[in-house]
């Protein structure tokens, strides 16, 4: 699984067995949990299947949202709304409240110049179509000399949130952001107040992109977890069109769409990796995909299914349920666009069942016009895994033998190295960084191992490059399914690699003392990173955002995002682990998400905005 595939194995795996339980009559939240969930989640759980103590750190709204529209929606479908709320209230010991973003956060009496796509300074998961995570000086508005003087300008708290997953898009004097429950808002850059808001049908996990839409209108594009793609008017926040992209019943939207030349390219993943934990579920029939939509109308122009053809019956599991294959190879991350070659690059996840395919744990190159496969590079063969493999019981759907779950969770980076040649660079959850030749059908140029790797990374979410080095955050969490690197010790931290050779130029770990006294704290770099000239910004699972010199990795500035902060409109807020997308640098400001309860980490609900103070 990728960060996103692993995400289906998240904190909310908590209720994975609900799908196998059909209530004969209304029961309390405690009775439902004890009947369907307790065997996996008591007394303590593990790295990806946490115990009750962690679940009680979440909000009732977060658990209900997961069962309704999130990674556990297939399991929650068997419960009534009242039963979902009952389970959430039992686990959290708190009353469920669907609290909207309050009126106190909305702008009042401030001038509003609107949002112009021509003034965009950051959009997408890694800031640009090439996926590099690099912000040039003209858009950054921030230099290495400015960084030590960064100060917190404002903090925005999303009511009831525990996971901050989306990357803001910055255009003119506003930032477009998505909250944990489907809220999409335009925030004023100077104050953080809300200019307008839109409510999607389900949570939005990927970043927002902006550009010209129907009739030349300035338009924002995004995809929710149910794979609904949206076009929304950039000035007013009103809906222009909405289209369901995924074909499978449990198709899932996690990666960010990419906008190019009048087309919106949408990645499609799947929840089957989690649903497979139910031994009565016929595992598995989904495939990862990428779709091209007409940006003006939402019409689907082509749909590339990663696994050609459709699965066939392969037998029966130990519970007597029919099994299917091949399946899986989800596209969890965002696509990278290569206009010069007319190609789109996408990373894929593991297969969910045997037989395995050559398209799993791979980098694919698709024709932008037709969606046809141009070439592929597979890093790990034979990787078949689903969440049944992590359970003490109900392992009937676990592939035999199971794979290590080492997919590509990040968008490949298309970068020009110092000698002028363009290469593709991608990090894998195995802890390997791969450099491929896009002019030679993805031939391998070099590879470097920076970590032991695991189902939670290795390189989990994303890297960055400034054209000199590639910067790789290595998580190396203790979640090894099959140890493919028994000779290596875990080595979490931040690594700089020479783009010409792959040689590690420098590396720095997170100081372990930063986690002293903090529960669910990990001295690890898992989130994507962002680079400007002279600086790479990296968030830690310890809750710190750090700015490292690109020369030697030394820390030139840091901020503890878990410390109390006054928020826009006085909404209750807390910081936590920094995971998922990298920071955003635009217009002289730094934007950082804080809070990520998934994978047993510190929850939080803050978007923090920094600017340069008096030097």
Place of tokens 């007394």: 43
DSSP per residue over 175-215, as a string? EEEE-TTSEEEEEETTT--EEEEEE-SS---SPPEEEE-GG
Q: 300 vs 36, which has greater pLDDT?
A: 300
Helix (H), strand (E), coil (C) string for 533-551: CCEEEEECCCCEEEEEECC
CATH number, position 468: 2.140.10.10
Domain membership of residue 478 as a residue range: 3-9+115-612
Mean pLDDT across 8-36: 51
Q: 391 vs 367, which has greater pLDDT?
A: 367
Same domain, 72 and 142: no
Q: What confidence tier does 79 reach under pLDDT thresholds 50, 70, 90?
A: confident
Same domain, 51 and 147: no
Average pLDDT of the residues of the chain:
88
Mean pLDDT across 352-369: 98
Residue 267 lies in a domain: yes
CATH number, position 79: 1.10.760
- Which pLDDT score is estimated for 101? 84
Give tens-digit pLDDT for 309-348.
899 999 999 999 999 999 999 999 999 999 999 999 999 9
Mean pLDDT across 488-496: 97
Mean pLDDT across 235-262: 93
- Which pLDDT score is estimated for 118? 77
Give tens-digit pLDDT for 497-518.
999 999 999 999 999 898 998 9
In 3D space, the residue among 340, 447, 356, 454 whose CA is nearest the CA of residue 399 turns out to be 356
What whole-number percentage of the chain has pLDDT above 70?
Answer: 87
- Which pLDDT score is estimated for 615? 59
Same domain, 87 and 120: no
Domain boundary, last residue among 92, 127, 146 = 92
Rounded to whole angstroms, the Cα distance separating 279 from 92 reads: 28
Same domain, 537 and 577: yes
Look at the chain and report how many structural domains it folds into.
2
Give tens-digit pLDDT for 523-582.
999 999 999 999 999 999 999 999 999 999 999 999 999 999 999 999 999 999 999 999
Same domain, 69 and 198: no
Q: What confidence tier does 99 reach under pLDDT thresholds 50, 70, 90?
A: low
Same domain, 84 and 216: no
Helix (H) or strand (E) holding 226: none
Beta-ladder partners of 303: 291
Lowest pLDDT segment from 230-239, 419-428, 501-510? 230-239
Same domain, 490 and 572: yes
What is residue 351's DSSP assignment? B
Lowest pLDDT segment from 21-30, 101-110, 369-378? 21-30
**Against a cut of 0.75, is the pTM above it?**
yes
Q: What confidence tier does 110 reach under pLDDT thresholds 50, 70, 90?
A: confident
């Amino acid at each position: 699984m990728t960060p996103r595939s692993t995400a289906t194995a998240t904190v909310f795996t908590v209720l994975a067995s609900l799908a196998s339980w059909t209530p004969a009559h209304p029961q309390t939240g405690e009775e439902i949990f004890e009947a369907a969930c307790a065997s996996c989640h008591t007394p303590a759980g593990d790295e990806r299947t946490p115990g009750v103590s962690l679940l009680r750190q979440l909000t009732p709204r977060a658990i209900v949202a997961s069962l309704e529209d999130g990674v556990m929606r297939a399991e929650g479908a068997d419960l009534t709304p009242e039963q979902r709320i009952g389970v959430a209230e039992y686990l959290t010991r708190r009353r469920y409240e669907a609290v909207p973003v309050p009126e106190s956060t909305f702008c009042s009496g401030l001038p509003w110049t609107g949002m112009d796509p021509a003034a965009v300074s950051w959009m997408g998961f890694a800031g640009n179509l090439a996926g590099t995570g690099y912000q040039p000086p003209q858009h950054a508005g921030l230099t290495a000399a400015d960084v030590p003087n960064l100060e917190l300008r404002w903090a925005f708290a999303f009511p009831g949130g525990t996971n901050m997953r989306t990357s803001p898009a910055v255009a003119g004097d506003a930032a477009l952001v998505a909250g944990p429950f489907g809220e999409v808002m335009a925030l004023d850059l100077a104050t953080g107040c809300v200019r307008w808001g839109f409510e999607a049908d389900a949570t939005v996990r990927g970043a927002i992109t902006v550009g010209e839409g129907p009739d030349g209108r300035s338009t924002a594009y995004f995809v929710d977890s149910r794979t609904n793609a949206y076009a929304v008017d950039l000035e007013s926040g009103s809906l222009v069109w909405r289209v369901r992209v995924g074909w499978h019943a449990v198709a899932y939207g996690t990666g960010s769409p990419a906008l190019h030349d009048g087309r919106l390219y949408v990645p499609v993943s799947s929840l089957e990796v989690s649903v497979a934990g139910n031994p009565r579920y016929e595992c598995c029939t989904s495939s990862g995909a990428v779709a091209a939509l007409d940006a003006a109308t939402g019409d689907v122009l082509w749909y590339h299914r990663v696994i050609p053809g459709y699965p066939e019956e392969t037998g029966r599991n130990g519970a007597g349920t029919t099994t299917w294959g091949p399946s899986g190879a989800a596209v969890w991350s965002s696509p990278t666009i290569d206009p010069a070659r007319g190609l789109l690059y996408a990373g894929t996840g593991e297969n969910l069942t045997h037989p395995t395919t050559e398209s799993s744990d791979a980098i694919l190159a698709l024709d932008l016009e037709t969606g046809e496969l141009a070439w592929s590079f597979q890093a790990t063969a034979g990787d078949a895994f689903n969440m049944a493999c992590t359970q003490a019981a109900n392992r009937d759907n676990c592939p035999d033998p199971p794979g290590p779950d080492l997919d590509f969770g990040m968008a490949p980076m298309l970068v020009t190295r110092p000698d002028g040649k363009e290469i593709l660079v991608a990090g894998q959850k195995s802890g390997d960084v791969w450099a491929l030749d896009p002019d030679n059908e993805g031939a391998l140029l070099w590879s470097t191992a920076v970590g032991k790797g695991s189902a939670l990374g290795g390189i989990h979410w994303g890297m960055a490059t400034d054209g000199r080095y590639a910067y790789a955050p290595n998580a190396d969490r203790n979640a090894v399914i099959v140890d493919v690197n028994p000779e290596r010790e875990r080595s979490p931290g931040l690594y700089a690699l020479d783009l010409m050779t792959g040689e590690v130029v420098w590396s720095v770990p997170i100081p372990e003392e930063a986690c002293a006294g903090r529960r669910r704290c990990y001295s690890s770099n898992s989130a994507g990173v962002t680079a400007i000239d002279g600086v790479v910004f990296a968030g830690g699972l310890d809750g710190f955002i750090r700015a490292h010199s690109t020369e030697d990795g030394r820390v030139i500035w840091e901020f503890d995002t878990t410390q109390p902060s006054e928020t826009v409109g006085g909404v209750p807020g807390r910081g936590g682990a920094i995971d998922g997308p990298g920071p955003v640098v635009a217009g002289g400001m730094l934007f950082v998400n804080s809070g990520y309860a998934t994978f047993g980490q510190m929850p939080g609900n803050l978007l923090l905005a920094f600017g340069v103070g008096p030097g």
